[in-house]
Amino acid sequence: MSAPDGVRSWMTRRRQVIGGVAAVLVLAAVVLGLVLSGTGKDGSDTAAAGTTTPAATSSSAAPSTPAPAPLPAPPAASEVPAPPADPAQLPPGLAPVAFDQEAVGADGVTARVVSLDGVRGTAEGAGNIAGPALRATVRLTNGTGAPVDLGLVSVTMSSGADATPASPLDDPTRVPFGGTLAPGGTAEGVYFFSVPTGERDLVTLTVGYRAGTPFLVFSGAAG
């Protein structure tokens, strides 16, 4: 037996509503699938995740070591002082004076031969030979404004035109210079040299009192 018309009409509308709902659900499922396919698992956009982000630069990186300063250029050959011709060469002596005169240094130090006597030298110490000798007493005066180190004083003697060096003697009465000579002060030293009596016509006595200072020179006949 067929359903009444009212019932059939209600059933038709119900099927239409259910169909519409089903269509809406299917459409929603399709849209949701599309959305999920374009989104990463962590919810971030896959397109944005595909971009490359530059790595952050660490602020704790070690500072760079500064480059060393360039070395100065070597001096030109003309700026380099020439070495002395002979470093062992002694400074020149002043013009010789007679034994009875005073020798004056450029800095104000003066020297005088107080006495120059012929004696017989005493042989004491290695290399000393007893025999004819000359005993020289020398006086130094400090005319400078600074002390003079008498430990640097050197007294030498030679004889003849060829200036043959005379051997010094360590006579027990020998008194070499020593200590310090104050400004304005005087000091005396006594020295012995082996010089044969026949070689005393020309004797030269030199006195050096400071490094690099010209020697004070005495020259003449000796007794």
Q: Per the domain annotation, does 50 fall within a domain?
A: no
What is the domain count for the chain?
2
Residue with tokens 């800095």: 107
Q: What's the pLDDT score for residue 55? A: 46
Mean pLDDT of all residues in 111-129: 86
**Among the listed residues 124, 117, 132, the one whose alpha carbon sits nearest the alpha carbon of residue 190:** 117
CATH number for the domain spanning 108: value is: 2.60.40.1240
162-212: pLDDT as tens digits: 999 999 999 999 999 999 999 999 999 999 999 999 999 999 999 999 988
Q: Per the domain annotation, does 214 fall within a domain?
A: yes
How many C-beta atoms lie closer than 10 Å to residue 26's C-beta? Answer: 10
Which one has a higher pLDDT value, 88 or 125? 125
Q: Per the domain annotation, does 16 fall within a domain?
A: yes
Residues listed for the chain: 223
Q: Per the domain annotation, does 174 fall within a domain?
A: yes
| 186: β partners | 141
Percent of the chain surpassing pLDDT 90? 48
CA distance 135 to 188: 13
**Among the listed residues 201, 188, 94, 77, the one whose alpha carbon sits nearest the alpha carbon of residue 137:** 188
pTM exceeds 0.75, yes or no: no
The answer on 125 and 19 residing in a single domain is no
The answer on 108 and 32 residing in a single domain is no
Which one has a higher pLDDT value, 80 or 198? 198
75: pLDDT confidence band, cut at 50, 70 and 90? very low
Query: What backbone phi and psi angles, to 5 degrees, belong to 198?
Result: -80, 0
Rg (CA), the chain: 58
The answer on 126 and 16 residing in a single domain is no
Q: Among the ranges 33-37, 56-60, 126-130, 192-196, which has the highest mean pLDDT value?
A: 192-196
The answer on 206 and 118 residing in a single domain is yes
Q: How wide is the angle at C-alpha 55 spanned by C-alphas 49 and 57, nearest 5°?
A: 155
User: Given a cut of 60, is residue 214 above it in pLDDT?
Assistant: yes
Query: Structure tokens of 115?
Result: 């006495």
Domain with 198, as residue range(s), is 102-220
Percent of the chain surpassing pLDDT 70? 58
Alpha carbon distances (Å) from 90 to 30, 86, 206, 210: 116, 9, 12, 12
The answer on 25 and 109 residing in a single domain is no
Query: What integer best gives the mean pLDDT of the chain?
Result: 76
The answer on 108 and 33 residing in a single domain is no
Q: Per the domain annotation, does 86 fall within a domain?
A: no
Q: Per the domain annotation, does 81 fall within a domain?
A: no
Q: Per the domain annotation, does 69 fall within a domain?
A: no
Amino acid present at 167: S
The answer on 112 and 7 residing in a single domain is no
The answer on 199 and 110 residing in a single domain is yes
The answer on 209 and 106 residing in a single domain is yes
* DSSP letter, residue 97: B
141-150 burial, b for 16+ CB within 10 Å, e for fewer? bbeeeeebeb
Q: Per the domain annotation, does 76 fall within a domain?
A: no
